């Protein structure tokens, strides 16, 4: 287990804006940064990073917390893995305790660490084979040099070579202590069914390391060097705990700073395409590794830019096959342009033919909006075929309907009208139909959320009638109390020179309120921490103490409170909590909270009295008198709060 002092050091030294900025294209707004959330699809930025507090918060999907929590969320790591990742990144020596690791995913963590260590080992091995061994220098190094790659490019991309021997890597890895089990899980070796023997996956191939956005090697791609070799041109690592093909874009790790700088990415297919363009001075590049674009890859792009230019090989059939992937980009509200290359050319070959400056000019002069490109590409096939033309126009309009910017859509619609020679009103009519269909689909997507909300409302209405139903209002009251402590804990209240924190602790410990206990997380943990802190310091914790707390449930709640500008959920009014947001009203807010606590206690007493009505030995008249008194008391408290008790 990592010592809390090490956790505090990590949170203090790992600047959250820098860590998040490696995954999200952040823009400064005052003392905060905003960007599109990396955890869910959104068109309007709702993701906020507050450097002064060391926290992040998304007001769309509600994810939030400190820098360790962010790494946990973005990299799908455990708390311990995230802390170690940041410690290594920032050169922090962490202290381990002997109390055992409480992480229930420890076995998974160890497996990930083993795979990562093996990938790092394999990277060094392949590089060494290319640069320092006779076979690599005479067989593989000429492959890169003949294609014009400099030593700087070879080093930058960390390319390598796997020898022709069937077992060279396997035998070397075994000598270094790596087991067949981990070698198989990493996809670096395979096992023959015939005799159970093992052999190298990447045999007699140049190696391209697959580097994740965080800079870690998660897999490899091996390419044959001879055009006459009958083996598959490329062999890639299988999916592992570290590598998921649909969520990976080649070169994004190396190119992300340039993509941010120019707020644009050139997207292509091959590894050598991006290597050549980067060497030519075009560094904002990435490759889909020869596959159709996936939603996961598009989410990766959106972390860094909203502007995508797809460079197409000069192959009409290939262009048509990739059109659906471009529609996915439009669905995510990205600005999509394309640059088609001449027949028989790809970015690698054409950049070398034109030279650096010539290719840059070509990109600039031939870039066009995707909708225009699609129309020109497909309408060529519709001459003298009205049915085919109708199908093509419908397809183009379907893509156009994905663009949310009304001005952009209007201009493109008019340009489409000139190309297809169809009355503009007809096009308007068809795209309006598509809009209605899209809205209907969007509505269907939200049905489950609406049903969930309806169930919450129903539970709120029925909670009093059903003694076994948990009172939703309790949780909101607990939240209000903890929020009061976090925002105003050290402020004065009343005329007795008391602090808010002192008043709250006294009230909770008073016999009258003794029956009220917090039962929901993270509120119970926060109150326990606050009591301990107050005992030691005679103060409530400051905001930064919550934000950097090693308990991620506490730091996540702190992110929610301190990132929200104190805009309260409608749930407060729905649950009879009349919270005022102005700082000078916090004493009245405090009174409201405790009035609600007493109301909760009275409702518990009412439920107990109601149960007595089912007991034949109880005097119904006495029970009804008590109930009448309690209901009246509850009504008075509701009037004091200024709320309307719907159940009365």
Q: CATH number of the domain that 57 lies in? A: 3.90.580.10
Q: Which of 38-47, 94-103, 145-154, 629-638 has the lowest mean pLDDT?
A: 94-103
Secondary structure, 3-state, 112-123: HHHHHHHHHHHH
Of 177 and 247, more confident:
177
E-strand stretches of 449-575? 492-493, 498-499
Separation of alpha carbons 3 and 629, rounded Å: 54
* Rounded Cα gap, residues 62 and 69, in angstroms: 13
Region of poorest pLDDT, from 149-153, 181-185, 419-423: 419-423
Q: Is 147 helix (H, G, I), strand (E, B) or coil?
A: coil
Q: What percent of the chain has pLDDT over 90?
A: 29
Give the integer Cα–Cα distance in Å for 1 and 94.
Answer: 10
Rg of the chain over Cα atoms, rounded to whole angstroms, equals 31
The CATH number given to whatever domain includes residue 297 is 3.40.1360.10
Asked whether residue 529 is assigned to any structural domain, the reply reads yes
Tokens of 397: 């309009």
pLDDT digits (tens, 9 = 90+) for 518-551: 778 888 899 999 998 988 888 899 988 888 888 8
State the pLDDT confidence band at 70, using cuts at 50, 70 and 90. Answer: very high
Lowest mean pLDDT, pick from 67-76, 275-284, 307-316, 602-611: 602-611
Q: Quote the pLDDT of residue 510.
A: 64
The model's confidence at residue 466, banded by pLDDT at 50, 70 and 90, is: very low
Angle at which helices 406-420 and 424-445 cross, to 10°:
140
CB distance 49 to 20 below 8 Å: yes
Give the pLDDT of residue 254.
93
Residues 131 and 216 in one domain: yes
Tokens describing residue 120: 């790092």
Cα dihedral 114, 23, 348, 276 in deg (nearest 10): -80
Residue burial 191-228, b: 16+ Cβ < 10 Å; e: rest? eeeeeeebebbbbbbbbbbbbbbeeebbbbbbbbeeee
Q: What is the mean pLDDT of residues 140-156?
A: 94
Which are the contacts of 228, defined by CB distance < 8 A and separation ≥ 6?
Answer: none
Domain boundary among 182, 209, 242: 242
- 456 lies in some domain: no
Tokens of 338: 């394309």
Same-domain pairing of 261 and 362: yes
Measured between alpha carbons, how far is 308 from 331 in angstroms, rounded to an integer? 13
* Highest averaged pLDDT of the listed ranges 215-219, 325-329, 556-560, 580-584: 215-219
Statement to judge: residues 275 and 361 lie in one domain: yes
Residues 84, 158 within the same domain? no
User: Looking at the structure, do residues 499 and 601 belong to the same domain, yes or no?
Assistant: yes
CA–CA separation, 312 and 294 (whole Å): 17
Binned at pLDDT 50, 70 and 90, residue 605 comes out as: confident
Burial 120-142 (b: 16+ CB within 10 A, else e): ebbbebbbebbbeeebbeebbbe
Closest C-alpha to 219, from 247, 178, 179, 258: 247
Residue 459's φ and ψ, nearest 5 degrees, are -65, -40
Residue 368 — left, alpha, or beta (φ > 0 → left; ψ -120 to 50 → alpha)?
A: beta
Lowest mean pLDDT among 141-150, 338-347, 563-572: 563-572
What is the average pLDDT across 561-565?
73
Two structure tokens written together for 357? 């400056």
Q: Which pLDDT band holds residue 465 (cuts at 50, 70, 90)?
A: very low
How many of the other CB atoms lie within 10 Å of CB of 434?
16
> For residues 235 and 221, what is the distance between their CA atoms, to the nearest angstrom?
6
Q: Identify which of 76-80, 311-315, 444-448, 484-488 has the greatest average pLDDT.
A: 484-488
pLDDT value, residue 644: 32
Whether the CB-CB separation of 273 and 250 falls below 8 Å is answered with no
Confirm if 426 and 456 have CB atoms less than 8 A apart. Answer: no
Q: How far apart are CA 249 and CA 260, in angstroms?
A: 16
Residue 457 lies in a domain: no
Report cis status (omega within 30 of 0) of the bond before 522: yes
Q: Is residue 275 located within the same domain as residue 320?
A: yes
Residue 145 lies in a domain: yes
Question: Do residues 68 and 10 touch, judged by C-beta distance below 8 A?
Answer: yes
Count of all residues that appear for the chain in the document:
648
What is the overall mean pLDDT for the chain?
Answer: 80
How distant is the alpha carbon of residue 432 from its chain centre? Answer: 33
- Are both 336 and 384 inside the same structural domain? no
Query: Do 133 and 262 fall into the same domain?
Result: no
Phi-psi map region of 569: left, alpha, beta (phi>0 left; psi -120 to 50 alpha): beta
Residue 459 lies in a domain: no
Contact 184, 230 (CB under 8 A): no
In tens, the pLDDT along 372-427 reads: 888 888 888 777 788 888 888 888 888 888 887 788 888 888 888 888 878 888 88
- Rounded to the nearest 5 percent, the helix, strand and coil shares of the chain are 55, 10, 35
Q: Which two tokens stand for residue 415?
A: 């340009």
Is 344 a domain residue? yes
**Model confidence pLDDT, tens digit, residues 76-107:** 788 888 888 898 888 887 776 554 444 544 67
Classified as helix, coil or strand, 292 is coil
Does residue 535 lie in a domain region? yes
Helix (H, G, I), strand (E, B) or coil at 522: coil
- The neighbour count for residue 51, using CB atoms within 10 Å, is 16
Domain membership of residue 40 as a residue range: 4-102
Say whether pLDDT at 5 is over 90.
no
For 266, how many CA atoms within 13 A lie in the half-sphere containing its CB?
Answer: 26
Do 471 and 413 share a structural domain? no
pLDDT at 152 over 80: yes
Confidence of residue 168 (pLDDT cuts 50, 70, 90): very high
- d(Cα 561, Cα 553) in Å, to the nearest integer? 12
- Do 155 and 294 lie in one domain? The reply is no
Answer yes or no: do 478 and 488 share one domain.
yes
392, 409, 444 - which closes a domain: 444
| 35-44, 365-374, 415-424, 567-576: segment of lowest average pLDDT | 567-576
Both 357 and 394 in one domain: the answer is no
Element (H, E) at 189: strand 189-191
CATH number, residue 193: 3.90.980.10
Judging by beta carbons within 10 Å of its beta carbon (0-12, 13-18, 19+), is residue 619 exposed, middle or buried?
A: exposed
Question: Can you name the residues that pair with 211 across neighbouring β-strands?
Answer: 217
Residues 6+ apart with CB under 8 A from 617: none
Number of domains in the chain: 5
pLDDT for 515 beyond 60:
no
Is 454 inside any structural domain?
Answer: no
pLDDT digits (tens, 9 = 90+) for 257-312: 899 899 999 999 889 999 999 999 999 999 988 667 888 888 888 878 889 999 98
Residue 307 and residue 336: Cα distance in Å, rounded?
6
DSSP state of 81: H
Out of 168-172, 344-348, 395-399, 590-594, the most confident range is 168-172
Last residue of a domain, one of 317, 334, 366: 366
49 near 18, Cβ under 8 Å?
no
Q: What ranges in 133-251 are assigned the alpha helix state H?
A: 134-135, 141-146, 151-157, 168-175, 180-185
Give bridge partners of residue 234 from the DSSP assignment: 223
């Amino acid at each position: 287990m990592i010592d809390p002092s090490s956790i505090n050091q990590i949170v203090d030294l790992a600047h959250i804006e820098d860590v998040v900025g490696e995954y999200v294209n952040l823009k400064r707004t005052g003392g905060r940064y905003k960007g599109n959330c990396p955890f869910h699809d959104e068109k309007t930025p709702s993701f906020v990073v507050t450097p002064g507090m060391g926290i992040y918060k998304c007001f769309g999907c509600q994810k939030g917390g400190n820098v360790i929590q962010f790494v946990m969320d973005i990299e799908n790591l455990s708390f311990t893995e995230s802390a170690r990742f940041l410690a290594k990144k920032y050169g922090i020596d962490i202290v381990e305790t002997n109390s055992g690791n409480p992480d229930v995913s420890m076995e998974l963590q160890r497996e990930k660490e083993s795979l990562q260590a093996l990938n790092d080992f394999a990277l060094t091995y392949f590089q060494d084979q290319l640069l320092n061994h006779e076979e690599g220098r005479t067989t593989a190094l000429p492959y890169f040099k003949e294609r014009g790659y400099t030593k700087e490019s070879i080093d930058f991309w960390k390319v390598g070579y796997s020898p022709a021997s069937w077992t060279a890597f396997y035998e070397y890895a075994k000598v270094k202590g790596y087991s067949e089990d981990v070698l198989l899980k990493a996809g670096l070796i395979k096992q023959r069914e015939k005799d159970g023997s093992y052999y190298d996956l990447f045999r007699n191939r140049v190696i391209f390391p697959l580097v994740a956005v965080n800079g870690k090697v998660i897999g490899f791609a091996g390419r044959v060097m001879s055009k006459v070799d009958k083996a598959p041109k490329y062999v890639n690592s299988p999916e592992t705990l570290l590598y998921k093909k649909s969520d990976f874009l080649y070169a994004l790790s190396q190119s992300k700073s340039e993509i941010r700088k120019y707020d644009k990415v050139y997207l292509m297919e091959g590894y050598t395409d991006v290597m050549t363009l980067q060497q030519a001075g075009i560094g904002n590049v990435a490759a889909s590794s020869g596959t159709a674009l996936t939603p996961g890859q598009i989410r990766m792009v959106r972390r860094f830019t909203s502007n995508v230019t797809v460079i197409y090989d000069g192959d009409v059939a290939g262009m048509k096959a990739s059109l659906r992937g471009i529609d996915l980009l439009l669905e995510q509200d990205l600005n999509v342009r394309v640059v088609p290359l001449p027949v028989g050319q790809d970015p690698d070959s054409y950049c070398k033919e034109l030279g650096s400056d010539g290719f840059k000019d070509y990109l600039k002069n031939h870039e066009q909006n995707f909708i225009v490109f699609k129309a020109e590409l497909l309408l060529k096939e519709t001459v003298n075929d009205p049915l085919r033309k109708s199908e093509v126009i419908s397809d183009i309009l379907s893509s156009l309907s994905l663009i949310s910017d009304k001005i952009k859509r209007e201009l493109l619609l008019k340009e489409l009208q000139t190309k297809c020679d169809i009355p503009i009103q007809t096009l308007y009519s068809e795209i309006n139909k598509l809009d209605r269909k899209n809205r209907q689909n969007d509505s269907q997507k939200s049905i489950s959320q609406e049903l969930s909300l309806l169930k919450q409302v129903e539970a709120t209405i029925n909670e009093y009638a059903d003694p076994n139903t948990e009172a939703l209002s309790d949780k909101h009251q607990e939240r209000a109390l903890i929020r009061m402590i976090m925002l105003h804990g050290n402020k004065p209240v009343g005329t007795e020179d008391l602090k808010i924190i002192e008043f709250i602790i006294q009230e909770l410990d008073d016999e009258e309120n003794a029956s009220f206990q917090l039962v929901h997380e993270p509120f119970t943990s926060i109150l326990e921490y606050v009591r301990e802190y107050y005992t030691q310091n005679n103060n409530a914790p400051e905001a930064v103490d919550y934000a950097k707390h090693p308990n991620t449930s506490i730091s996540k709640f702190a992110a929610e409170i301190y990132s929200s500008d104190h805009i309260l959920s409608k749930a407060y009014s729905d649950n009879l909590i009349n919270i005022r947001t102005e700082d000078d009203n916090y004493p009245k807010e405090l009174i409201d909270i405790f009035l609600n606590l007493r109301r909760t206690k009275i409702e518990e007493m009412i439920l107990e009295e109601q149960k007595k009505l089912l007991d034949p030995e109880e005097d119904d008249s006495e029970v009804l008198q008590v109930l009448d008194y309690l209901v009246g008391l509850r009504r008075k408290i509701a009037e004091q709060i200024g709320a309307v008790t719907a159940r009365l």
